[in-house]
Structure 1
Amino acid sequence: MSILYYLRYRNKKFEAVSNLGEQIQSGAGHKAAELIINKGAEVLLTGHVGDKAEEALKRGGLKIVDGFKGTVKVKDAVNNYLSK
């Protein structure tokens, strides 16, 4: 599955961030992790993270919350996380 964009949530607003790593054959997970870290993210809400991306994200100090399925709306995932 290709991920074309990430959504950044900050100050109650969403911003679409293009996934430039999506077009490369090797190292896409690491490149995506680098992009997310460089955007200043603190938490990643996702369905799944590959091993290499997970290592890079954790080295970057991100908290990873996974297990969200494709039927979950982004807004609901964010509200669920913020309510805890």
Structure 2
Amino acid sequence: MKVAVTARGPGLDDAVDPRFGRCPYFVIVETDTMTAETVENPNAALGGGAGIQSAQAMADQGARAVLTGNCGPNAHRTLQAAEIEVFVGASGTVREAVESYRNGTLNAATSPNVGSHFGSGGGGGMGRGRGRGGM
């Protein structure tokens, strides 16, 4: 079965990226043979809709499950509509995440585990942005 793993790099020994829609890579792994192909995520820098677009891309790749750290509501809804199971809390390397999936130690997510726009880098600073620049 094909599973898509969110990854920081293009290989089986690269780290799982905790973000679904904005991960740099998806490593698509055939669980029976551990053969993999990598898809660079063109949606990582989108201003909005990255989760939905990434979910559609995984459906186009034929993934039957997604292994990731976190999945927001729009992506989760789109993955469910495509009948792709979502497993959150994946960590370690891509290879380790797939092994956890194969061993049954990852739990299926029946709902999103983060809010919209998680991981989009939308600043969390506490400043008011009105500095005087040394005046």
Q: Same fold (TM over 0.5)?
A: yes
Runs of 5+ unmatched residues, structure 1: none
CA RMSD of superposed structures (Å): 1.3
* TM value normalised by structure 1: 0.88
Q: Which has the higher helix share?
A: 1
* TM value normalised by structure 2: 0.57
For residue 79 of structure 2, what is the aligned residue in structure 1?
57
Q: Measure, in 2, the Cα distance between the counterparts of 1:3 and 1:80.
A: 20
Runs of 4+ more than 6 Å apart? none
Q: Measure, in 2, the Cα distance between the counterparts of 1:73 and 1:5.
A: 13
Q: Measure, in 2, the Cα distance between the counterparts of 1:28 and 1:65.
A: 18
Q: Measure, in 1, the Cα distance between the counterparts of 2:49 and 2:40.
A: 17
Q: Measure, in 2, the Cα distance between the counterparts of 1:32 and 1:51.
A: 13
Computing the radius of gyration over CA atoms, which structure comes out larger, 1 or 2?
Answer: 2
Runs of 5+ unmatched residues, structure 2: 1-18, 105-135
Letter in 1 for 2:100: N
Letter in 1 for 2:95: K
Q: Measure, in 2, the Cα distance between the counterparts of 1:81 and 1:3.
A: 19
Higher relative contact order (CA closer than 8 Å, sequence separation 6+): 2
Matched-pair identity in %: 26
State the secondary structure of the residue aligned to 2:43: helix
Equivalenced residues, count:
82
State the secondary structure of the residue aligned to 1:22: coil
Q: Measure, in 2, the Cα distance between the counterparts of 1:40 and 1:6.
A: 12
1:13 to 20, 35, 38: 35
